[in-house]
C-alpha cells in the first residue's frame, strides 16, 4: 500500500464497474450499495474538503443508481457492436 493514497477510492470504482457488469438486478443493487459505502469511507478519510465533497456526491449518485435502474448507469454507452469474423479459408484453396 502506498502512502498518501486513499484505498477506498479504488475500491469504490471497482464496485461501480462490478455494478455496471452485473448480470441480474439483485447483484447490480448490491454492487451499487457497496460502491456508495466505499465512497463514504473515502470521504471520511479525505483531508481535502473539495475531494471529500466529490466523494460524498459520488456516494449519493451510487445510491441513486441502486434505487433507480434507469439512472446514471442507463446513460452509459451500449457495448460496441460485434465485429464480423471472416470464415477460415479452406486449405485446399490455398495452393
Residue-level pLDDT at 2: 57
| Per-residue confidence band for 23, with pLDDT thresholds at 50, 70 and 90 | confident
Domains of the chain, by residue range, sit at: 7-67
pLDDT digits (tens, 9 = 90+) for 29-88: 999 999 999 999 999 998 889 999 999 999 999 999 999 876 544 445 455 666 777 788
How far apart (Å, rounded) are the C-alpha atoms in residues 51 and 9? 11
Phi, psi (deg, nearest 5) at residue 37: -65, -40
pLDDT digits (tens, 9 = 90+) for 6-20: 889 999 999 999 999
Average pLDDT for 16-25: 91
Largest pairwise CA distance in the chain: 71
| Per-residue confidence band for 95, with pLDDT thresholds at 50, 70 and 90 | low
pTM: 0.68
Amino acid at each position: 500500500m502506498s502512502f498518501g493514497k486513499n484505498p477506498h477510492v479504488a475500491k469504490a470504482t471497482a464496485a461501480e464497474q462490478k455494478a455496471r457488469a452485473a448480470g441480474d438486478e439483485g447483484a447490480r443493487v448490491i454492487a451499487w450499495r457497496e460502491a456508495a459505502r466505499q465512497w463514504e469511507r473515502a470521504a471520511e478519510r479525505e483531508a481535502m474538503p473539495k475531494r471529500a465533497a466529490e466523494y460524498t456526491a459520488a456516494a449519493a449518485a451510487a445510491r441513486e443508481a441502486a434505487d433507480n435502474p434507469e439512472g446514471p448507469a442507463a446513460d452509459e454507452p451500449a457495448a460496441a457492436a460485434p465485429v464480423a469474423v471472416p470464415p477460415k479459408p479452406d486449405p485446399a484453396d490455398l495452393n
